[in-house]
């Protein structure tokens, strides 16, 4: 065997060993990632604004009944240029009294509360959204909170036209006997 062929053989053998090690390491890395992700829960997010609705996160009202609601935040750190914006769902719920927006700076554990009253215009099941944003330690933070408001004990209203068509079809249908 010539020296030239021996060098090729050693080079080819070295290359095979390197590729083999790289393959084994890649497979081992993939198995470790899969094992870690399968047993590791998602990290919990911290509510830096500690926002909450009052009376609760779900209320039931009658159509045209006025209900008092409050939304407050009490941040875990100082917040610069904070904004609280309450968003009502279109024409389903209307504002009776109160403010739906606040802006300013907050110190850690300082509480800000927006109080307002609303009235349900129709039977519905909808959400009021409180959107909060501000800068904490130079980073912009945002968070949304939701209050579910429903009428008719959470029953979704049906269209009167659909009810009329359904009743008409049921009254016009004739029983059939199949043998």
CB atoms within 10 A of CB 77: 14
Closest C-alpha to 51, from 82, 75, 29: 75
pLDDT at 26: 64
Q: Which residues contact 83 (CB under 8 A, 6 or more apart)?
A: 101, 102, 103, 131, 132, 133, 134
> Once rounded to an integer, what is the mean pLDDT over residues 66-95?
94
How confident is the model over 38-54, as pLDDT tens digits? 555 656 678 999 999 99
Residue 70 is encoded by which pair of tokens?
Answer: 């409050």
Confidence of residue 12 (pLDDT cuts 50, 70, 90): confident
Distances (CA, A) of 143 to 18, 46, 48, 116: 50, 10, 9, 20
In the sheet that 79-87 helps form, which strands lie side by side, from edge to edge? 58-60, 139-150, 125-136, 79-87, 101-106
Q: Report domain extents, the chain.
A: 1-44, 52-150
Highest average pLDDT, of 11-25, 37-51, 140-154, comes from 140-154
Q: Which CATH number describes the domain made up of 52-150?
A: 2.60.40.10
Average pLDDT over residues 14-39: 65
Cα→Cα distances 70→36, 91, 103, 113, 145, Å: 43, 20, 16, 7, 12
Write down the pLDDT at residue 137.
92
The chain-wide mean pLDDT, for the chain, equals: 79
10: left (phi over 0), alpha (psi -120 to 50) or beta: alpha
Q: Take residue 39 and report the two structure tokens written for it.
A: 């047993």
């Amino acid at each position: 065997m010539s020296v030239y062929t021996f060098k090729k053989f050693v080079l080819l053998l070295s290359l095979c060993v390197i590729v083999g090690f790289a393959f084994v390491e890649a497979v081992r890395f993939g198995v470790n990632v899969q094992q870690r992700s399968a047993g590791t829960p998602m990290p919990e997010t911290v509510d830096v604004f500690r926002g909450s609705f009052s009376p609760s996160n779900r209320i039931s009202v009658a159509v045209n009944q006025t209900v008092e609601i409050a939304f407050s935040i009490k941040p875990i750190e100082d917040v610069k240029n904070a904004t609280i914006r309450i968003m009502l769902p279109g024409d389903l719920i209307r504002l009776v009294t109160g403010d739906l927006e606040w802006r300013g700076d907050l110190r850690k554990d300082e509480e800000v509360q927006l109080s307002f009253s609303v009235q349900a215009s129709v039977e519905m099941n909808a959400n009021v959204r409180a959107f909060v944003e501000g800068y904490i330690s130079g980073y912009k933070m945002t968070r949304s909170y939701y209050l579910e408001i429903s009428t008719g004990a959470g029953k979704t209203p049906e269209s009167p036209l659909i009810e009329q068509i359904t009743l008409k079809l049921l009254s016009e249908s004739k029983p059939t006997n199949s043998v």
